[in-house]
Structure 1
Amino acid sequence: MLQQASATGLVRMILIILLIYFGIKIISRLLSPFLIKYVSKKAEQRFGEQFGQFQRNAQQEKPKKEGEVTIDKMPNTKTSNKDVGDYVDYEEID
């Protein structure tokens, strides 16, 4: 059996879609401030935890004398591979 769509069914479906669209739009406008507050509080907590760890590490270190130099981390030494390629010298042409 072949069923045909009626004009009232089409209008009804369009109205339902519009109602859902505007309902979601209104609800999102009402709930977005709470969502933004929640996300900002979580970010603040994470940054606070990281900063607190930094402060605790700084307090645990022994006090240094004035003018004393310490190296906390040695820089990574990069070893170059001599088999990579050839060095080509160039000249600038005026």
Structure 2
Amino acid sequence: MQTASFSGFIEMIFYMIAFYYIFKFLAKLFLPIVVKKVVEKAGQNFQQQQQRSQQTTWKKTPNNDEIIIDTANSKNPRETKKVGDYVDYEEID
């Protein structure tokens, strides 16, 4: 069984402080590079999704000069959800 000593405690504090500063230094070096790569990858994915959606949208119409607007939903307005029945009441004195 080992016993705790003051020199062991000081050594542990030293290692913790050293680890903190080394981690902080490495984060300053590598974190901007990692963030830049993630942002670039997200931008590429966004552009690919936009291109796919534009291609599928333009393929639906046989002639590119023609614009089709679906007005079926505008004729039937959306119903509001009915939460409950309205009960009319009178105050009794």
What SS does structure 2 have at the residue aligned with 1:87?
coil
The answer for unaligned runs of 5 or more in structure 1 is none
State the alpha-carbon separation in 2 of the partners of residues 77 and 86 from structure 1. 19
**Bigger shift: residues 24-33 or 72-81:** 72-81
> Quick one: higher RCO (CA 8 Å, sep 6+), 1 or 2?
2
Local SS of the residue matching 1:17: helix
Equivalent residue runs for 1:1-94 within 5 Å: 3-60=2-59, 61-62=61-62, 63=64, 64=66, 70-71=69-70, 74=73, 78=79, 85-88=84-87
User: Structure 1 length as normaliser, TM-score?
Assistant: 0.67
TM-score, with length taken from structure 2: 0.67
Q: Where do 5+ consecutive residues of structure 2 fail to align? A: none
AA in 1 matched with 2:85: D
Deviations 1:30-79 (A, max 9, x none): 111111111101110111111101221233223316xxx53177479558
Moved more, 52-61 or 32-41: 52-61
Runs of 4+ with >6 A deviation? none
